Copies of this chain bind each other. A is one copy, B any other.
């Protein structure tokens, strides 16, 4: 049911020409990076202020119009698909860095600031915002999905790096959570409740973020291993020994082949680890030596060090390109990226089982991962619209998730739930899934905030 004209008129009174029902705007804001799909939203709005967001939500709440937040559209589980129609709020025009306080190691930003834009602004301060999911995502979107990425092993995910939020709830109430202090013991942790809630509880309109000093010294390296098991066991042992890795990433042989195809590089087409060390020069040297010794035990070879910024950028570009690179393994294909996270001792078996399952299923794809956290992805390449292949891939993904749960892991390390993982929520959370629904119902009784996602069906 499209949004009635009188409701659009009310919205237009708030937003003027920053409300669109044009087909191209709707189509752009109904797209997904993956095979997940839904009809486009009924309208798109570009608010400029928190007060506008509040006014829009009041109108939508009064009329039961779904509201879906939108950042850069780079989510991989269809989080922002308007599965029940409604209004997409594109937050990308609220893109100001409001305050940088180097002495307090924090920044205050609007949700449409991207992580790269923030880091560009921070360059002169000697500080950085390290959370890096690969895509140049918006910080509001990263908070909504509890994003992490390659550096989480050292600096934490959005959970650890959001100190406070301003958000607008379904009824238009504007709240502030958290504080600018490093810690607080004053009440329910509403910041943590909103981070990762995927727009189902409110729209984030401001973030207070924890900053970190740029490391004095950085060294990075790639290292090839004869087998997947060697590489992943090396990771488990490195983490168990407490080597303070800044990044420790796994890519399998096919992943390296994809990178070579995509970037014209000539890495050996074997399982690799890509690692980074941050700190004082002597610490970096020591950590690198420690890791080198562990890697050697596991038949790691061909260490290629990248110490200059340029070489390091090239190395991490290879890792970050892996999603788009993999698409070259099967031209024209769509990717479906699974995402699980397991306790470290379970990682070697989990990676091996996932790879074996994918190969046995006859699909082409690769395995990459933020393995220092026990988090990895199997990226499968599917012919667009081939329902049989999609069904096979979903089977692989579901079995991965169930194996993760069986060993105390989680169905999503960082990609979130969206529409792709909702069917697994009860398996992971049991009665706690209904509790999530109770909280949602209490804060959004008309179920307008990104309905049809995250919690059990309400209506």
Contacts and interface: CB of A to CB of B under 8 A. Distances in A.
Interface of A: 101-106, 145-148, 152-153, 156-157, 159-160, 169, 173-177, 179-190, 192-193, 195-197, 201, 212-213, 236, 239-240, 242, 280, 282-283, 286, 339, 341-346, 373-375, 404, 407-417, 421, 425, 428-433, 435-436, 438-439, 441-443, 454
A210 to B, nearest CB: 11
Contact of A181 (B145, B156, B410): B410
Copies per complex of this chain: 2
A39 B447 CA distance: 43
A147 B185 CA distance: 7
Nearest to A409: B181
Given A101-B343, A345-B104, A159 B173 contact: no
Nearest to A146: B185
26 contacts: A103-B345, A104-B343, A104-B345, A145-B185, A148-B183, A159-B189, A169-B435, A174-B431, A175-B430, A176-B430, A176-B432, A177-B432, A179-B408, A180-B409, A181-B374, A184-B412, A185-B414, A186-B410, A186-B412, A186-B421, A189-B193, A190-B432, A192-B192, A213-B242, A282-B282, A441-B442
Contacts of A375: 181-183
A380 to B, nearest CB: 20
Nearest to A438: B442
A413 B183 contact: yes
A397 to B, nearest CB: 14
Contact of A413 (B159, B184, B421): B184
